[in-house]
Structure 1
Amino acid sequence: MPAVVLGLEHHLFEEALEIVKEDSGYRNDVEMTEADWRGIVTQYKGIVEVELGRAFPQDVSEQLWDAIRAVFDSWDSDRAKVYRRLNDIPGDWGTAVNVQAMVFGNMGVTSATGVAFTRDPATGEKAYYGEWLVNAQGEDVVAGIRTPQYLTLAARKRAGAKPLSMEEAMPASYGELAAVFELLEKHYSDMQDIEFTVERGKLWMLQTRSGKRTAKAALKMAVDMVEEGLIDETTAIRRVDPMALDQLLHPTLDPKAPRDFLGRGLPASPGAASGTIVLDADTAEKRAELGEAVILVRVETSPEDIHGMHAAKGILTARGGMTSHAAVVARGMGRPCVSGASGLSIDMKTRTLRMGTRELKEGDLITLDGATGEIMAGMVSTVQPELAGDFATLMEWADRYRCMKVRANAETPADCRMAREFGAEGIGLCRTEHMFFEAGRISSVRQMILAQDEAGRRATLEKLLPEQRADFAAIFTVMAGLPVTIRLLDPPLHEFLPNRDAEFAALSDTIGIGVDTLKRRADELHEMNPMLGHRGCRLGITYPEIYEMQARAIFEAACDVAEESGDAPVPEVMIPLVATKKELAILKKLVDETAAKVFAEKCRTLDYLVGTMIELPRAALMAGEIAEEAKFFSFGTNDLTQTTLGVSRDDAARFLNPYVEKGIFLRDPFVSLDIEGVGQLVELAVQRGRATRADIKLGICGEHGGDPASITFCEKIGLDYVSPSPFRVPIARLAAAQAALEK
């Protein structure tokens, strides 16, 4: 109560308790006598009076109402706001208070307390999982104050632990508990997280809830429960959080890689991460914001650490078990966690830690393996995950129920292969400018941009043509007949130009133009607001030879691949940043004429589409007119969000967090689509586009294509596909299935 209700610092009371234990030679709280506790209570009252300037309240009614008030106040605490922001919980929902009688697990050797899961929350295995302590209260188990014991005999034997399990020490209470486990799981049709107390031999159930689990466990439980008849396929699809799949789509430690072993703790949350050591949550958040991968190392974590835990790549604690705060929160966040590393000691004054004989300082690099509990110095290499088994089963079910297609944003053969492995049904955005930045051709691109006239540009574009053709041929080969949407050159030209004297000098030597002339030309191309400047289709209007070269490369590559493989590619040529029907008409004519020339030269024809990216509010408003020329719309919601809100995505990080915290935006609009504003424009464009052209193909290729909430909106308004980055394809497949079922 003093810390939670009265708002006093927890360490004030912990220090007093530790001094008494140290003076008496006690290691654990349970060794303290009644007299010791009476003395501690007196000390605690004195601390309260010194800190608050008033006595600890003695009236029971006053204590109860103070506790109730504290629960309501906690809804607006900093850690509660962080938790709501991380889990998309509206701040106006409010909270509730339960008042109930208390039972005690610290009434001697016939009493105990514990936390248990009806299945293993880390692996999903159908086996009871949990910890307990004899003669203890619940906080003792989850706070890491005492090292907990294993719940089951099998778990104790696997770990080689000596203290008896509850199954052995209290067989009658354990048998009753196991029966309750089965009853609760059958009733809720889900894995349960249960807290219980045994008071003088009598079992009391304190609470149950659906337990948090890793993505791996969620998959296994969902698939297993369908096979067991507890749930059906649609329930299994709904039960797995699409974003949790992200935990399965990233590398794990390479078992063959050398390791500099430091120590071991409990494997509290699977996965692996390398990062620099940080010793408090605020430092973790600050360093992560600067792009540094960090590992949060604490004696034990508390809810106040949640922002640092979210910022960290992994979490390491000296105390606590596999149901401690650190373990439960890390599993929910998908962070690897090693807890209860008994050989770990932390010195906050010197900002150092020791593991056995090794000393490390804050900023040193370490690696955690949350699957084994191992802690290693330095960085350890990784291997890619295998997407089979339960993952493949759930994806098969998701594909059975979803309506929207899922493509991927990719522009290299490697990314395209990865996208196909993850289940992509085409490429929804191939950004050609990324190809121009390759080291072997950037000088030719610069020469083309800095040319004084069309003849000079065309001469350089001739050099780029075979390279672009090879790019597209490689992508068409990997995608083997699936649709590939290729966006013609989009960014402003100055982005390709040198910005250092050494680069200008090297370019001058390559193309034979003086440095001063090159710099003068570069200054002429400089723009005050390049995002809204000479880019997108405006490049095609002023320098049509650029788009003509790209179109030729696309169609020549498509014809070559069709000839060689028999799988005819399906190119979809996308004109970016269109604001008017006339812009699109001019550039569509250029693409069509180029296609006709290539088909005549190659003596074959191929199906293709010409469409546009809707990324300007005017384009959305004029969608009906633009659809007279466009065979497809691809909503570029990254730029559409920028142009609608008048907010630069690159600069928004400086002020968007306060906007989210103050409820101006429920979520970062560049992460999850602004449904009320930007979404309204998208929906309007869908309606007007389809009114003009009933069979127009509609998709989304902004980063929102991998966000489940945005995908739900896309399903609602009837888009044909979403297109996220390759790693988010499985997330999109599952989210699309959930959206279809919800609809």
Structure 2
Amino acid sequence: MEVIQEIKKRVYSFGDREADGNATMKNLLGGKGANLAEMSKIGIPVPPGFTITTEVCTEYNKLGQEATVNLIREEVRESVKRIGEIMGADFGSSSNPLLISVRSGARVSMPGMMDTVLNLGLNDVTVEALAKLTGNDRFAWDSYRRFVQMYGGVVMGMKPESKEEIDPFEAIMEEIKEDKGIELDTDLTTEDLKTLVFRFKEAITKRTGNTLPQDPWEQLWGAVIAVFNSWNGDRAVYYRTMNGYPADWGTAVNVQAMVYGNMGENSGTGVCFTRDAGTGENVFNGEYLINAQGEDVVAGVRTPQQITKLGSERWAELAQVTEEVRRETYPSLEEIMPSIYKELFEIQRRLEIHYRNMQDMEFTIQNGKLWILQTRDGKRTGAAMVKIAMDMLKERLINEQEALLRVEPVKLDELLHPIFDLTALKSATAIAQGLPASPGAATGQIVFHSDEVEKFKHAILVRVETSPEDLEGMHRAKGILTARGGMTSHAAVVARGMGKCCISGAGALKINYKTRTMVIDGREFHEGDWISLNGSTGNIYEGKIATKEPELTGEFAEIMKLSDKYRTLKIRTNADTPADALVGRNFGAQGIGLTRTEHMFFEVDRIKAMREMILASSTKGRKRALDKLLPMQRSDFEGIFEAMDGTAVTIRLLDPPLHEFVPHQLAHQKELAEDLHVSLEMVKAKVADLEEFNPMLGHRGCRLGITYPEITEMQTRAIIEAAINVSEKGVQMKPEIMVPLVGTIEEFRAQKEVIDKTAELVFAERNTKVEYKVGTMIEIPRAALIADQIANEAQFFSFGTNDLTQMTYGYSRDDAGKFMPIYLDKNILKADPFETIDQKGVGTLMRIGVGRGREVNPWLKIGICGEHGGDPASIEFCNQLGMDYVSCSPFRVPIARISAAQAAIKAQARNS
């Protein structure tokens, strides 16, 4: 039976003030394609072209090359013909050739992660036609050289074979430049460029066994397929995984008429931002190069110049260059092409107002005419993200809800890391200066190769310039330093997107990858040496510099206050010490959702008493040891209660198996035997007795308190006495005592009886009372299923989503790392369930638990206290379930606050 192929539109045209698509179609056309269509419609000068949809990428991954090309062949041919009609040229013509670019375009910005080919359509014949048409031989051969280099690398696989080897094309170019005694690409003559083309093609054939295609259509299909393949390239996969982007999104392919910035001194190319991507300051900024193509700006081969006079002056100040030298050597676009600058300024203003967001634009000037190649919502640092959102709110470009939704919660983490201590900074020795490409502070040991960053816990990746292949190393490094490149280089853009401290264009650095050395003013630094980077000023310092904790001030404080206006979920923190509690409270925590009492037992003076309790052979012996622990626990609770005055504090009773507290090495067992005046054999026997085949499902949680009720008695007494003590000082505190690992109502009743009996005993002894609650952690699937029974007697539920996930999946959280990356790579799981709640499985149990619990106890307080409490997607799910609060680590409290506000806004939008 003949298969009838579904007829649907797979290719969308744009340009000449018309377009098939618009800005709302990013899922289908990718961000770049959707914005090119939108700009065409509103009259922005965009080179004409077309977009092959993201759906075709998905089809390609299923059908393969031949079937996919057959699907789109006719649409592509018609669209190429339309470009030629608009540009007055013909693709493949030997006399008047149309040249095109082929670029990727995912629905989200993935800078440098996928592939691009420029000047496509050039061959040994059309290069001569281009030279004749333009009257510019050098331009034509420079364009051909670029095409051979890009097509050879992207489509034909001409990549370095080892990390010590530089790009094979760059090696050839450097050899010719050295022979000629020149430094810049622009100094190459037409004959030099012809030699490069010949040697490039020769190198391709030698390494790959294939020749560079001369047929423009073969070139086009090769480039389209290469872009589709790059969606599943190593660097794109890593970037997707890092940001949580699904693999099935696919990428669009954008084919566009070439416009040239390398036609001479009245041509150029650049990248610009409507606001400062590093600080958020409302200042138009960017970089450009005369007589260059776009890749030159971001690749860092030539140091670009600033677009605005203000930016140029700032750069001169950072580079310690006089104003006279600056004007002569590094003039701004505003100064040398004032009319072009004025047009560009007006366009950037129009685009920011139209999109109501900070824009990142690419442009080309061809013989004095300005073309806009792309616009997109600009990548920005966490600080810039917050400032831009609040500034645009004040400028009435967006409303309060939009300002909150503009914030990526996880990027707030950048604002919560330590910064350099100003006192320590004053005494630090600056060794070089670069461009402040991405703000922040970083201290670490020098590493020169991306795949070796993990050699050191704190590493600074030092490169001549970075490329997309360096992505994983950049992600793992504490900071990034490059000798070449500007504020829009690959290193700068990617670092800002990651929130990494980065300094680029530090020209004083002489880097040798083979010897693993960096020389600055004759002084040699080696791999492993410590340096410090100030990404806000561009200063590079020798050695380590002390840091201090950040503060919640300025726009950060403003947006947090705004988030509190909209969220309905309360935000608590997980804290085991008064110091942690105070950090959480300073970041806005409204209580403590989890205090793990076992963490209080591991200090030297306490672990001895704990071990004495464990080794005791009678109840009397255990109580004697617990009496030693009582004042220590009570003191801890008093400190936490004082830090959290006026809020609720949930304290979990002892949870882990006892074997975690005893020594397992013979030497330490001998020490313990000597300390407790018992035999080594007795210690070894007890340790062996505590050994379990599956301790996480063994003798732990409430099972300990039921077996040894004296443990629950001691902990309850410590909690209640601490609450009474602080209340006598005027501190308002209502402790919540949480029974862990309950799976039956009988377990909960048994522990609650001990807690209530002990509390009444303390009240009688002290002749006073304090309010307290008793509840449980829902972390066993059965507890969720019998939540109605438990809720009849419990006063609160706290979902322990870490263990609930372990038990629902049957995965050990500690061992899942052995297979989880493979599961994610093979798409067996869409996301790591220990990072974001599995809403279909674990979430169903939570929904059942909340529903059944509230059915019998409408006033039941419910929250979560697992690591998911700081995950935006999990917080939105908790909001949907109608929980009262989420609890997370202290430094994630701001992330949770903004996430809860966003969840409430989205819920309101759905219900309206």
**How high is the TM-score relative to the length of structure 2?**
0.79
Q: Are 2:705 and 1:540 equivalent residues in the alignment?
A: yes
Instruction: Measure the CA separation in 2 of the matches of 1:110 and 1:725.
Output: 56
Instruction: Measure the CA separation in 2 of the matches of 1:157 and 1:267.
Output: 14
Instruction: Measure the CA separation in 2 of the matches of 1:260 and 1:704.
Output: 42
Instruction: Measure the CA separation in 2 of the matches of 1:340 and 1:720.
Output: 50
Q: Are 2:416 and 1:249 equivalent residues in the alignment?
A: yes
Show the 5 A alignment for 1:12-51.
12-51=168-207
- SS where residue 100 of structure 1 aligns? strand
Instruction: Measure the CA separation in 2 of the matches of 1:338 and 1:707.
Output: 30
- SS where residue 503 of structure 1 aligns? helix
- SS where residue 158 of structure 2 aligns? coil
Show the 5 A alignment for 1:208-607.
208-257=375-424, 258-284=427-453, 286-287=454-455, 292-565=457-730, 567-607=731-771
Instruction: Measure the CA separation in 2 of the matches of 1:634 and 1:95.
Output: 42
Amino acid at match of 1:582: E
1:267/1:372 contact within 8 Å kept: yes
Instruction: Measure the CA separation in 2 of the matches of 1:66 and 1:498.
Output: 63
Instruction: Measure the CA separation in 2 of the matches of 1:364 and 1:682.
Output: 50
1:568/1:606 contact within 8 Å kept: no
Amino acid at match of 1:3: G
Query: Which string of whole-angstrom CA distances, capped at 9 and with x for unpartnered residues, describes residues 78-101 of structure 1?
Result: 111111111211111121111111
1:272/1:368 contact within 8 Å kept: yes
- SS where residue 630 of structure 1 aligns? coil
Query: Which string of whole-angstrom CA distances, capped at 9 and with x for unpartnered residues, describes residues 582-623 of structure 1?
Result: 000010111111111222222222221111111111212222
Correspondence for 1:138 among 277, 286, 294:
294
Instruction: Measure the CA separation in 2 of the matches of 1:76 and 1:411.
Output: 43
Amino acid at match of 1:280: H
1:415/1:726 contact within 8 Å kept: yes
Give the stretch that moved more between structures: 503-512 or 90-99.
503-512
Correspondence for 1:54 among 181, 191, 210:
210
Report the alpha carbon displacement of residue 505 of structure 1 after superposing the two structures with TM.
3.5
Instruction: Measure the CA separation in 2 of the matches of 1:287 and 1:399.
Output: 42
Query: Which string of whole-angstrom CA distances, capped at 9 and with x for unpartnered residues, describes residues 379-410 of structure 1?
Result: 21101112111011100110000010000000
Query: Which string of whole-angstrom CA distances, capped at 9 and with x for unpartnered residues, describes residues 551-606 of structure 1?
Result: 011111111111211x3311100000111110000101111111112222222222
Instruction: Measure the CA separation in 1 of the matches of 2:698 and 2:445.
Output: 41
- SS where residue 636 of structure 2 aligns? helix
**1:2 alignment counterpart:** 152
Instruction: Measure the CA separation in 2 of the matches of 1:605 and 1:134.
Output: 79
1:262/1:358 contact within 8 Å kept: no
- SS where residue 343 of structure 2 aligns? helix
Correspondence for 2:847 among 683, 692, 695:
683
Report the alpha carbon displacement of residue 252 of structure 1 after superposing the two structures with TM.
0.7
Instruction: Measure the CA separation in 2 of the matches of 1:281 and 1:665.
Output: 28
Q: Are 2:362 and 1:206 equivalent residues in the alignment?
A: no
- SS where residue 735 of structure 1 aligns? helix
In structure 1, stretches of 5+ residues that fail to align are: none
- SS where residue 503 of structure 2 aligns? strand
Show the 5 A alignment for 1:641-656.
641-656=805-820
- SS where residue 254 of structure 2 aligns? coil
Amino acid at match of 2:348: F
- SS where residue 359 of structure 1 aligns? strand
Correspondence for 2:873 among 691, 703, 709:
709
Amino acid at match of 2:300: G
Query: Which string of whole-angstrom CA distances, capped at 9 and with x for unpartnered residues, describes residues 404-460 of structure 1?
Result: 000000011111111110000000000001111122221111111110010101111
Report the alpha carbon displacement of residue 186 of structure 1 after superposing the two structures with TM.
0.4
Report the alpha carbon displacement of residue 224 of structure 1 after superposing the two structures with TM.
0.6
Report the alpha carbon displacement of residue 49 of structure 1 after superposing the two structures with TM.
2.1
Give the stretch that moved more between structures: 40-49 or 408-417.
40-49
Report the alpha carbon displacement of residue 730 of structure 1 after superposing the two structures with TM.
0.3
Q: Are 2:317 and 1:150 equivalent residues in the alignment?
A: no
Q: Are 2:804 and 1:635 equivalent residues in the alignment?
A: no
1:612/1:632 contact within 8 Å kept: yes
Amino acid at match of 1:228: E
Instruction: Measure the CA separation in 1 of the matches of 2:798 and 2:859.
Output: 14
Instruction: Measure the CA separation in 1 of the matches of 2:838 and 2:442.
Output: 33
Report the alpha carbon displacement of residue 510 of structure 1 after superposing the two structures with TM.
3.1
Instruction: Measure the CA separation in 2 of the matches of 1:670 and 1:724.
Output: 14
The percent of aligned pairs where both chains have the same amino acid is 56
Instruction: Measure the CA separation in 2 of the matches of 1:579 and 1:356.
Output: 68
Q: Are 2:270 and 1:114 equivalent residues in the alignment?
A: yes
Query: Which string of whole-angstrom CA distances, capped at 9 and with x for unpartnered residues, describes residues 235-286 of structure 1?
Result: 01000101111000111111221424332221111111222222222222x4
Amino acid at match of 2:896: A
Report the alpha carbon displacement of residue 657 of structure 1 after superposing the two structures with TM.
1.1
Report the alpha carbon displacement of residue 356 of structure 1 after superposing the two structures with TM.
2.5
Q: Are 2:186 and 1:186 equivalent residues in the alignment?
A: no
Give the stretch that moved more between structures: 71-80 or 360-369.
360-369
Amino acid at match of 2:157: G
Report the alpha carbon displacement of residue 343 of structure 1 after superposing the two structures with TM.
1.8
Report the alpha carbon displacement of residue 355 of structure 1 after superposing the two structures with TM.
2.5
- SS where residue 446 of structure 2 aligns? strand
Amino acid at match of 2:443: S
Amino acid at match of 1:652: A
Give the stretch that moved more between structures: 415-424 or 440-449.
440-449
Instruction: Measure the CA separation in 2 of the matches of 1:442 and 1:211.
Output: 52
2:315/2:435 contact within 8 Å kept: no
| Cα RMSD after superposing both structures | 1.4
- SS where residue 574 of structure 1 aligns? strand
Q: Are 2:905 and 1:737 equivalent residues in the alignment?
A: no
- SS where residue 99 of structure 1 aligns? strand
1:715/1:736 contact within 8 Å kept: yes
In structure 2, stretches of 5+ residues that fail to align are: 1-150, 161-166, 908-912
Instruction: Measure the CA separation in 2 of the matches of 1:702 and 1:505.
Output: 37
1:85/1:667 contact within 8 Å kept: no
Report the alpha carbon displacement of residue 503 of structure 1 after superposing the two structures with TM.
3.0
